[in-house]
Amino acid sequence: MQMLYNSDNFIVVQFDIAPEGADAAADGGSAAPTIGRGGFEIVDKAARKEIYIEGLLAESFKAGVQQIVDHNPSPEAFEEFIGRYTALAQQPLVAH
């Protein structure tokens, strides 16, 4: 888990989930290498909602962020881009 972005409006956290047996393969065990999976959790602080994206949607998000970094790395550009994904958020934010 790695926090990628934190502003007054949003938090973006990246998750890399290693599959079962990945530790054995990394330690020289006999398990075959396996592909991990992961995604991004996006929290809309104002709306108090969150969304977890993975798969193709996560890849699209990652590519969009990279495009912003390459062309217009302003806070406003990031906020606008992230806001497009929070429109999909249905899960209410619950503090533990």
CB 89 within 8 A of CB 51: yes
Give the model confidence (pLDDT) of 1-11 as tens digits. Answer: 899 999 999 99
The more confidently predicted of residues 68 and 96 is 68
pTM for the model: 0.74
Among 75, 82, 9, which residue's Cα sits nearest to residue 46? 9
Strands in the chain per DSSP E: 2-6, 10-17, 37-44, 49-54, 91-92
As a whole number of angstroms, the distance between CA 68 and CA 31 comes to 39
18, pLDDT greater than 60: yes
pLDDT band at 75 (very low <50, low <70, confident <90, very high): very high
Q: Which residue has the higher pLDDT, 25 or 13?
A: 13
Total number of domains constituting the chain: 1
What range does the domain containing 66 cover?
2-92
Q: What is the residue type of 46?
A: A
Contact at 8 Å (CB) between 51 and 91?
A: yes
Higher-pLDDT residue of 48, 37? 48
